[in-house]
Amino acid sequence: MTINTKNENGKLALALTGRLDTNTAPELEDELKLEGVSEIAFDFSGLEYISSAGLRVLMTAQKAMMACGGRMTIAHPNAMVRGVFEMTGLSSVFEIVP
Amino acid sequence: MNRRWIVFAGAAAVFYSVLVFFSWSALTQRAFRQTESMLDYAMLDLDATLNGSIDTMLMHAADSITEQLGRPRRLSTEEIALIARQRDLDEVNVVARDGTFLASTDGRLVGLCMADRPKSAEFLVLTNGVRHALSHHFRPGAHNPDVRRKYVGVAFPGGDGLVQVGIDEVRVTGMFPSIMGFIFDAWLLGEKGFFLCADLSDGHLISNPARHRDEAKFLAETGYDPAAPGVVEDGRTTFQATLFGVPHDCRAVVFCGHRIVAALPPAEYYSTRTFYAALIASVLGLVMLAFVLLVRRIDIDSGRLRSFYAAEEDRRAKEYAIASTIQNSALPAPPPPDDAFSLAAAMHPAREVGGDFYDSFRLDATHVAFLVADVSGKGVTAALYMMTSKTLIKDKLAAVRDPAEALTQVNAELCANNPANMFLTAWVGVLDLETGVVTYANAGHNPPVKLEGPKGGGREVGFVTPKSGPVLAFMDGVRYKSFTLRLAPGETLFLYTDGVTEALDAKGALFGEDRLRDAVLAAGDASPASICHVVRAAVAAFAAGTPQADDITVLAVRYTGRGGGKGARRRFPATQSGIAAAGDFLDEALAENGPSAESLSPSLHVILDEIASNIVKHSGATGFELEFEPVSDPPGVKLVFSDDGAPFDPLAHADPDPTLPAAERPIGGLGIMMVRKMSSSVSYRRSGDRNVFSATVAVPSPS
């Protein structure tokens, strides 16, 4: 998995390519330096699939944003990833755009 | 200033003192001998002068008598008494040639024969016509022993009889002041010595050196005491006496009622002793000082050298520690074994760290790379170069997968920047786990040993044909070539560095390739780890205590072949990297099963990830086995997980409530829920001591 990260004035933009699973989840966790961050924008257009290890990282980030009144968005998940969000009920928790 | 130096300086001081002491003693001896010989000479001179003067006086008297008488003849008592009185003589005898006393002042002698009187008989030698005169010393008189008398005889012409004259000591004593005084006054004894002559009866000085004339009229006033201890007045014994307040070396003699003392002040000879002793002491002192300073200089220099060497040794030890740390940190754990191969490696650093290293890692599910390399040189430089080389080789090999191409690129990069002119040898192989084919390239490294599997009566062992390119980092633009060899299941390849073959025994013999081949053969069926150990032990036994000069590195890889035959089952260690390897295995299996199976990839990967991470995190298993099984009714794929962990049924846990708000959700339990929802069927059973979990994913129908 590759992660392309940009941080502009507290807005953290991450574009993920590949697989987000137990092997790669720690990488994403490392990338998520949330100090001073008020908005996280994930671009999932390059993400093949996500496992529960990846979901945990996303949930942790979502909780952190809710706690500080920030916002987290997930853009362009593929059908597989969207299916995982739905089957786990997380589609109602995450803000998925468009 | 150290203790050794103090001891040395002390020894030098003692040596100096001894030298000065002996010089002083020698000079004292010399001064003493000079004093003695001067006094000897003075006493001989004194004796000759005193006795000679009296002899001369008596001879003149006797001569005048022989002239007066003309020839020996009888004389009346009055005549002979007159002759004696005129000449102040106490005795006069006229003796005929036959020894008969013709006349004498002692009437008793007339008519007697001189030959009958033992002492007097000696004078008859004068009648031989050759000898003219003879004198005797003072001696006690024949008739009166209290009167000491001296005789002188003179022959008449032709030895026709003789005249003998005698004089009493008492008479000479009376004449002494007038006759002898002037002799002593003018007499020199060395430069500063002098004679004292005093009347024996009253001690009145008749002679006194001019310097002290006013200081003393009597001998006692000079400080001389004849009764003092050590004083021997025999003319031969030197003794010390304080005269005029100064100690003198003295000899004394009593002569004709007078005491004569010859005195030599110490300044006469001993002053030169002081001068020469001071001279010798200063010259010796300067020489000793120069010597001591020279030795001190050498001591300081050698001290500096010692501390320099100690610092150098310290620096080396630190460098060794650093290099050792670098080297050890660079040695990887071998890749997890699976059904197809097992691998072990070890590196034993020498006293001074060299640049040996080994590496082994999976390129993908079916390829394992392994290599052994040896960087030239030792110490930190070699260790750092080793790190660079190791990283480069691994990176290039992972990227291009072909050993030759990887080494070609590594060589180009190393040559581009090699200020220290280091180089290294390397043997790099890639084992295809499907076929047992090893593709390899060699950069100047020792050829590995191939240990064939057991067949018939035993094993065969031999070196891989040493096809090789040049060493790395040596020449730019080198293109390496790959070669292949094939390992049948059960066969082993053994890699090593020259620390093995070039190990020395006490006699300087090399361990060599024959012993290496024997050791590998002896290890035979043992595991790769045991082969490494056996070879290492054989080298140690051969060296038998000879210090190890170079790093010893060994690596053994055994191809065991794919087990099972269905080609889609494999064991993985229960680690994170085991999960990654299982993911690779899944990709390979999917690729072999066509596009419809590949469409299931995301779901299958998620299932693999969830189940395998459950096993790794919770079961305590050492490994797990994954079986990939295509199914046909309905078409799909079945994944079967089997692990040796604690009994655990993931399906027995309730799914989490997906309707809870995010902030309230427990993180966990999601995974197994996803597995359930993605699978068309899931099952769990406990089989023996293993958990067996299977999940089937169906290919979605076209509708």
Nearest to B609 among A53, A59, A87 (CB): A53
CATH class of B330-559: alpha beta
Most confident of B58-72, B190-204, B284-298, B567-581: B58-72
Alpha carbon B601 to its chain centroid, in Å, reads: 76
> Does the beta-carbon distance from A52 to B670 stay under 8 Å?
yes
Q: Tell me, yes or no, if A58 comes closer than 8 A to chain B by beta carbon.
A: no
Q: How many domains does chain A have?
A: 1
Nearest to A52 among B580, B610, B658 (CB): B610
- Comparing B316-330, B586-600, B650-664, the range with the smallest average pLDDT is B650-664
Cα distance between residue B693 and residue B685, in whole Å: 7
Structural contact between residues A63 and A94, judged by C-beta atoms closer than 8 angstroms: no
Cα distance between residue B667 and residue B673, in whole Å: 12
Structural contact between residues B137 and B150, judged by C-beta atoms closer than 8 angstroms: yes
- How much is the average pLDDT of B147-168? 90
Q: In this predicted structure, what is the pLDDT of residue B209?
A: 67
Crossing angle between the packed helical segments B601-614 and A79-87, to the nearest 10 degrees = 50
Amino acid at residue number A85: F
Cα distance between residue B263 and residue B247, in whole Å: 9
> Does the beta-carbon distance from A56 to B670 stay under 8 Å?
yes
Rg (CA), chain B: 65
Those residues with Cβ within 8 angstroms of residue B301's Cβ, 6 or more apart along the chain or in another chain: none
- Residues from chain A contacting residue B650 (CB–CB below 8 Å): none
Q: Tell me, yes or no, if A64 comes closer than 8 A to chain B by beta carbon.
A: no
DSSP E strands in B82-142: the ranges are 91-95, 101-104, 133-135, 139-140
* DSSP-assigned beta bridge partners for residue A19: A49
* DSSP-assigned beta bridge partners for residue B494: B449, B556
Q: In this predicted structure, what is the pLDDT of residue B562?
A: 57
Strands A71-75 and A39-50: parallel
CA distance B699 to chain A (A): 14
Band (pLDDT 50/70/90 cuts) for residue B654 is low
Which of A1, A19, A22 would best serve as a mutation to test chain B binding (most B beta carbons within 10 A)? A22
> Does the beta-carbon distance from B579 to A22 stay under 8 Å?
yes
Q: N- to C-terminal Cα distance for chain B? A: 101
pLDDT at A75 over 60: yes
- How much is the average pLDDT of B513-529? 86
- Comparing B52-56, B107-111, B139-143, B158-162, the range with the smallest average pLDDT is B139-143
- Residues from chain A contacting residue B612 (CB–CB below 8 Å): 22
The DSSP secondary-structure symbol of B431 reads: E
> Does the beta-carbon distance from A21 to B606 stay under 8 Å?
yes
Q: In this predicted structure, what is the pLDDT of residue B433?
A: 85
- How much is the average pLDDT of B245-263? 86
Interface size between A and B, measured as CB pairs under 8 A: 75
Taking alpha carbons only, the member of B624, B628, B641 closest to residue B585 is B628
Tokens of B422: 């280091």
CA distance B698 to chain A (A): 15
Q: Is the pTM of this model over 0.90?
A: no
HSE-up of residue B112 (Cα within 13 Å, Cβ side): 14
pLDDT at B630 over 90: no
pLDDT in tens, B341-387: 889 998 888 766 678 889 999 898 889 999 999 988 777 778 888 88
Q: In this predicted structure, what is the pLDDT of residue B1?
A: 53
- Comparing A73-77, B427-431, B600-604, the range with the smallest average pLDDT is B600-604
Tokens of B485: 């060899």
Q: In this predicted structure, what is the pLDDT of residue B165?
A: 93
pLDDT at A88 over 90: no
- Comparing B111-115, B172-176, B555-559, the range with the smallest average pLDDT is B172-176
Cα distance between residue B381 and residue B353, in whole Å: 10
Query: Whole-number mean pLDDT of chain B?
Result: 84
Nearest to A93 among B606, B662, B678 (CB): B662
Nearest to A62 among B580, B662, B671 (CB): B662
CATH superfamily of the B569-698 domain: Histidine kinase-like ATPase, C-terminal domain (3.30.565.10)
Which of B575, B606, B657 would best serve as a mutation to test chain A binding (most A beta carbons within 10 A)? B606
pLDDT at B567 over 60: no
CA distance B703 to chain A (A): 16
Amino acid at residue number A71: R
Compute φ and ψ for B497, nearest 5 degrees: -110, 170
Those residues with Cβ within 8 angstroms of residue B238's Cβ, 6 or more apart along the chain or in another chain: B35, B36, B39, B249, B250, B251
> Does the beta-carbon distance from A22 to B613 stay under 8 Å?
yes
pLDDT at B429 over 90: yes
Crossing angle between the packed helical segments B379-400 and B267-329, to the nearest 10 degrees = 10
Rg (CA), chain A: 12
- Residues from chain B contacting residue A22 (CB–CB below 8 Å): 576, 579, 609, 612-613, 616
Q: In this predicted structure, what is the pLDDT of residue B101?
A: 92
DSSP H or E stretch at residue B476:
none
CA distance B574 to chain A (A): 13
Cβ atoms within 10 Å of B605's Cβ, excluding its own: 22
* DSSP-assigned beta bridge partners for residue B496: B554
pLDDT in tens, A10-38: 899 999 999 999 889 989 998 888 888 88
Amino acid at residue number B137: H
- Comparing B218-222, B324-328, B346-350, B446-450, the range with the smallest average pLDDT is B324-328
Band (pLDDT 50/70/90 cuts) for residue B163 is very high
User: What domain range includes position A39?
Assistant: 2-97
> Does the beta-carbon distance from A49 to B606 stay under 8 Å?
yes
Q: Is the dihedral of CA B111, B113, B119, B120 positive or negative?
A: positive
Tokens of B1: 């200033």
Structural contact between residues A37 and A56, judged by C-beta atoms closer than 8 angstroms: no
> Does the beta-carbon distance from B603 to A51 stay under 8 Å?
no
Q: In this predicted structure, what is the pLDDT of residue A46?
A: 92
pLDDT in tens, B382-407: 888 888 899 999 999 999 999 999 99
Q: Which residue has the higher pLDDT, B662 or B308?
A: B308
Those residues with Cβ within 8 angstroms of residue B669's Cβ, 6 or more apart along the chain or in another chain: B653, B654, B655, B656
- Comparing B65-69, B326-330, B431-435, the range with the smallest average pLDDT is B326-330
Cα distance between residue B316 and residue B244, in whole Å: 81
Q: Tell me, yes or no, if A63 comes closer than 8 A to chain B by beta carbon.
A: yes
Q: In this predicted structure, what is the pLDDT of residue B668?
A: 58
Residues 646 to 665 of B: which have CB under 8 A from any A CB?
A: 657-659, 661-663, 665
> Does the beta-carbon distance from B613 to A53 stay under 8 Å?
yes
Residue B658: closest C-alpha in chain A: A89
Q: In this predicted structure, what is the pLDDT of residue B108?
A: 87
CATH number at residue A71: 3.30.750.24
Band (pLDDT 50/70/90 cuts) for residue B455 is low
- How much is the average pLDDT of B549-559? 89
Q: Which residue has the higher pLDDT, B101 or B332?
A: B101
- Comparing B413-422, B454-463, B559-568, B679-688, the range with the smallest average pLDDT is B559-568
Most confident of B188-192, B563-567, B607-611: B607-611
Cα torsion A37, A41, A46, A48 to 10°: value is 80
Give the 3-state secondary structure of chain A.
CEEEEEEECCEEEEEEEEEECCCCHHHHHHHCCCCCCCEEEEEEEEEEEECHHHHHHHHHHHHHHHHCCCEEEEECCCHHHHHHHHHCCHHHCCEEEC
Distances (CA, A) of B134 to B46, B52, B56, B113, B163: 20, 12, 11, 18, 11
Those residues with Cβ within 8 angstroms of residue B544's Cβ, 6 or more apart along the chain or in another chain: B505, B506
ipTM summary value? 0.84
> Does the beta-carbon distance from B673 to A55 stay under 8 Å?
no
Share of chain A above pLDDT 70, in %: 100
Tokens of B264: 């030599």
- Residues from chain B contacting residue A80 (CB–CB below 8 Å): 602-603
pLDDT at B302 over 90: no
Q: In this predicted structure, what is the pLDDT of residue B703?
A: 47
Residue A95: closest C-alpha in chain B: B662
